[in-house]
Amino acid sequence: MDQFTLNLIVVGATFALYIGIAIWARAGSTSEFYAAGRGVHPVLNGMATGADWMSAASFISMAGIISFGGYNTSAYLMGWTGGYVLLAMLLAPYLRKFGKFTVPEFIGDRFYSQTARTVAVICLITASLTYVIGQMTGVGVAFSRFLEVENTTGLLIGAAIVFFYAVIGGMKGITYTQVAQYVVLIIAYTIPAIFISLQLTGNPIPPLGLFSDAKSTGLPLLETLNGMLKDLGFTEYTKQTDTTLNMFLFTMSLMIGTAGLPHVIVRFFTVPKVSDARSSAGWALVFIALLYLTAPAVGAMARVNLIDTVYPNGTTEAPLAYEARPDWVKNWELTGLLGFDDKNGDGLIDYVADKDANEFTVNNDIITLANPEIANLPGWVIALVAAGGLAAALSTAAGLLMAIASAVSHDLIKSQINPAISEKGELLAARVAMAVAIAVATYLGMNPPGFAAQTVALAFGLAAASIFPALMMGIFSKRINNKGAVAGMITGLVVTIVYIFLHKGWFFVASTASFSDAEPMILSIKSTSFGAVGAVLNFAVAYIVSNATDEPPVEIQELVESIRVPRGAGQAVDH
Amino acid sequence: MADNSENNAYWAANKRIIVISLVIWFICSFGFGILLRPMLAGIKIGGTDLGFWFAQQGSILVFLVLIFTYAIKMNKLDKEHGVDE
């Protein structure tokens, strides 16, 4: 059986499973559509959060970025896991106690202001939409390889499937489907990693393999890799080249962005009790850590294998002839994401650091998907990875679209524009909002502002600068009032998005950029790292404005008191 | 609901646990993984240095321990202050 047929069978089988579950758990009421009727067990909820969280950025893109960036990309690993500590301690239990459906709802009630709620909706849509663009980039890569078509075609097919998938289900459908998706994606991620770790180091556990000796040289794997890279003129894998300031701010942006992303926070609205919200965050991180501990091993090992493929006789010898290139190189050439340009006309694949002499370009985003092919693993493993990548992209895209849909239908239309809207009308509005979001994200996904994980990192910066500070101050301070919160959110969002647009182009149209991440506007702060600065400004402005204006009314101060203690969460209002 | 002073004591205890946890969170990620890495460069582990290990593996393990410890401590605290569900 050829690889294409095998891919179709495995991917088809997993899709049938998800759609089956989605139909079985079809959402009936609005309460089920948004929050699964608050009946989800913490471990299952943690698993679903894991699937929701680990998107195309984590599954498809991150290992590739680590592979080519080495130590400098550690921010992705620390940032996207460390945020759960903040979530578990600073937000999740109190928001569950508050007991509503959406993040803007909390902000609107706590800051007793429809304006605050509307600003929160705008922040939420901006961050989520940017995030969906990153997902669409990943979906495009996965589908183009799997269906053996050009990248743009893959993106359009992927978008159609995401649309169908997110629109028929609601949160409940998504919760149980996501448990299935988690299982598929984690198996798909770890199995090739185990094989490759065994091949390279003899250790079957990839996170241990990363710090073990390479079979080929007898030296530690990372030393071996450093040596290879040095021969070819690349920076050593473990060396820091990014500035400490930028690494610090980037890690911080990703961490607080994690805690401020609405599609993750709403997960904690669906657990039965406040104590479950805390443990659910822990379980989510357990399931996420399985992938995040594997990813750095995948990154380093893929780089070793890639160099081994191009330099079969060692990095000090001549590289492989283009005519002798393996099948995986040919397969990926079809997608346009891997290329060879014989600059010196010698027919050999020269892969070196020097840009003028390098003839081999590999898009970061293909590393995870190509990894099993590079390592010559069996066909079913390759098919499984394709299925896993699609599971990751679909589950997150669906979760994000839910967050956007509920913000529009619930926080804008039902609460402000037309309170008399029927349940049916509200669901329809939610679905229309999803469709518009997918269309916009697909369009922007064709010319993304970066690799999937980088685009997603921008979304985190936006969430970090706008939503996280408002939520945290709403819980930990009784003094922050409506005016302070609104001023803070607007400052954080505007400053961050302007900084991003100055570097990535206005509305991500690259030609309108005034600066680049290679030479940022302020010090060495890249656009992906600016969220942390935006967050600090948000806190500062909110504090100053609140202290210059009236303190919140007594009933709001009582509300803050009440969300701080778990007792009474069961009586939380239902709509 | 218990009276206000009881709730205030509960909240103060919660905040104390959070502060201690976040200090550890900061030191193991931003500290060992980024800021203090040059100082730890002498400590070798698996072909690289301790800072690299913390940045790519150690910090994640610490985060896991922190969240579950917090969840357990808070469950105990909830009961002690009579605010459990």
CA distance A39 to A171: 12
| Contact with chain A for residue B32, Cβ under 8 A | no
* Selection from A176, A157, A158 nearest residue A36 by Cα: A176
CB B15 within 8 A of CB B22: no
- The ipTM, to two decimals, is 0.94
pLDDT of residue A34: 52
* Selection from A79, A87, A85 nearest residue A251 by Cα: A79
CA distance A509 to B73: 49
Number of domains chain B is built from: 1
Q: Which residues in chain A are closer than 8 Å to B27, comparing Cβ atoms?
A: none
CA distance A526 to A537: 17
Contact A77 B56 (CB under 8 A): yes
* Selection from A268, A286, A288, A264 nearest residue A277 by Cα: A268
Contact B70 A278 (CB under 8 A): yes
pLDDT of residue A534: 97
Contact A220 B56 (CB under 8 A): no
Q: What is the 3-state secondary structure (H, E, C) of A30-43?
A: HHHHHHHHHCCCHH
Minimal Cβ distance to A238: which of B34, B48, B74: B48
CB A283 within 8 A of CB A47: yes
CA distance A169 to A433: 14
Helix (H, G, I), strand (E, B) or coil at A213: strand
Q: Which residues in chain B are closer than 8 Å to A219, comparing Cβ atoms?
A: 47
pLDDT of residue B3: 57
Radius of gyration of chain B (CA): 18
B2 Cα to chain A: minimum distance (Å): 9
DSSP A263-277: HHHGGGGSSSSHHHH
Q: Is residue B10 part of a domain?
A: yes
Q: Which residues in chain A are closer than 8 Å to B1, comparing Cβ atoms?
A: 562, 565, 567-568
Helix (H, G, I), strand (E, B) or coil at A515: coil
Minimal Cβ distance to A275: which of B2, B47, B75: B75
- Start-to-end CA distance of chain A, whole Å, equals 53
pLDDT of residue B49: 92
Contact A561 B4 (CB under 8 A): yes
Amino acid residing at A302? A
What does pLDDT average to over chain A? Answer: 87
Q: Is residue B71 part of a domain?
A: yes
Contact A88 B1 (CB under 8 A): no
CA distance A444 to A438: 10
A514 Cα to chain B: minimum distance (Å): 30
Contact A220 B53 (CB under 8 A): no
Q: Looking at the domain A3-304+375-571, which fold is it?
A: Sodium/glucose cotransporter (1.20.1730)
Q: Is residue B85 part of a domain?
A: no
Nearest-5° Cα angle at A229, A225 to A235? 115
Select the residue from A86, A87, A228, A238 to test the B interface by mutation, using most B Cβ atoms within 10 A. A238
Please report the sign of the dihedral spanned by the C-alpha atoms of residue A332, residue A335, residue A341, residue A346: positive
Q: Which residues in chain B are closer than 8 Å to A77, comparing Cβ atoms?
A: 55-57, 59-60
pLDDT of residue A13: 92
Contact A275 B84 (CB under 8 A): yes
pLDDT tens, position by position, for chain B (85 residues)? 445 787 889 999 999 999 999 999 999 999 999 999 999 888 888 888 999 999 999 999 999 999 999 999 999 999 998 888 8
B17 Cα to chain A: minimum distance (Å): 9
| DSSP type of residue A18 | H
Contact B34 A247 (CB under 8 A): yes
| DSSP type of residue A149 | -
Predicted structure pTM score: 0.90
A435 Cα to chain B: minimum distance (Å): 36
Residue of B nearest to A221 (CA): B47
Minimal Cβ distance to A222: which of B33, B47, B60: B47
Contact B84 A212 (CB under 8 A): no
Size of interface A-B (CB pairs under 8 A): 147
pLDDT tens, position by position, for chain A (575 residues)? 788 888 889 988 988 888 787 777 665 555 555 554 456 677 888 888 888 888 888 888 899 999 999 999 999 999 999 999 999 999 999 999 988 878 899 999 999 999 999 999 999 999 998 888 888 888 888 888 777 788 888 888 888 888 877 776 554 456 777 788 889 889 999 999 999 999 999 999 999 999 999 988 889 999 999 999 999 999 999 999 999 999 999 999 999 999 988 888 888 877 888 888 899 899 999 999 999 999 999 999 999 999 999 999 888 888 999 998 998 898 888 888 888 998 888 889 999 998 889 999 998 888 888 888 888 888 888 888 888 888 888 778 877 888 888 888 888 888 778 888 888 888 888 888 888 988 888 888 887 777 777 888 899 999 999 999 999 999 999 999 999 999 999 999 999 999 999 998 888 888 888 888 888 888 889 999 999 999 999 999 999 999 999 999 999 999 999 999 988 776 444 43
Helix (H, G, I), strand (E, B) or coil at A536: helix
| Contact with chain A for residue B68, Cβ under 8 A | yes
B40 Cα to chain A: minimum distance (Å): 14
| Contact with chain A for residue B56, Cβ under 8 A | yes
Q: Is residue B54 part of a domain?
A: yes
At A427, list the tokens. 């669901």
Domain membership of residue B8 as a residue range: 4-80
Burial status of residue A24 (CB atoms within 10 A of its CB: 0-12, 13-18, 19 or more): exposed
Domain boundaries, chain A: 3-304+375-571, 308-362
Strand extents, DSSP E, A416-513: none
Contact A278 B71 (CB under 8 A): yes
A2 backbone φψ class: left, alpha, beta (φ>0; ψ -120 to 50) = beta
pLDDT of residue A574: 41
Contact B63 A84 (CB under 8 A): yes
CA distance A448 to A441: 9
